[in-house]
A = this chain, B = another copy of it.
């Protein structure tokens, strides 16, 4: 258990997976989002070359995967279990969207292991399985075709978990110096003067040409170096 990164406390549980390729895809999806703990309840075939082929750089996740003979074994020690489900159910648990479920999982993950459970490719989870979970999570889909591939569903949930991490909000944008107000204004004046000289702009009928150009460059939020380029271009074009 890691108190600092709740992702380390998230256990992805795949129940009765039919296609080993999907186990590999799930491992890769997990690792891309910083999840590493995979539990497999009675997989049809594991280990399997098809799983290895689809896992690519996430072989470590596959190697550490724990095969369980029952869901109870896979959920042992968890403080929250969430079932990922496409179908709406008769006697439904509280159902959250994937986006709503992610922070709930992480909050609980600060306290102890949490599980996110996925059923078989064909029929999903049984009512008995969802009955062992406290919450259902649902990925919003096209009502006419809601069948996400298992690996794709793990990818979306893992992505939502990562996105819900406060740290993920940190940006790494490189800042480039922006052009100053006065330099941009000087550019507009010079441009206007040149447009008048070349008779593109008629001062008697200016319409809204300069206003439109201002608006366009405003959206671009010109950088200092870009403004230098634009000024250089004007000089060259006037030679």
Contacts and interface: CB of A to CB of B under 8 A. Distances in A.
Contact of A220 (B142, B168, B217): B217
A103 interface: no
Interface of A: 25, 28-29, 31-34, 54, 56-58, 88, 92, 95, 99, 139-142, 144-149, 151-152, 155-156, 159, 162-163, 168, 172-174, 194-195, 198-200, 209, 212-213, 216-217, 219-223, 225-226, 229, 232-233, 235-239
B200 A152 contact: no
Contact of A159 (B54, B139, B198): B139
Given A32-B146, A213-B229, A222-B216, A159 B162 contact: no
Number of copies: 2
Nearest to A28: B149
A56 to B, nearest CB: 7
Nearest to A191: B233
A32 B148 contact: yes
Nearest to A139: B159
A28 to B, nearest CB: 6
Given A199-B236, A216-B222, A32 B145 contact: yes
A129 to B, nearest CB: 21
Given A29-B149, A33-B142, 20 more contacts: A28-B148, A28-B149, A32-B145, A32-B152, A34-B142, A34-B144, A57-B145, A99-B163, A140-B168, A149-B155, A152-B155, A155-B155, A195-B236, A200-B233, A200-B236, A212-B226, A216-B220, A217-B220, A220-B220, A237-B238
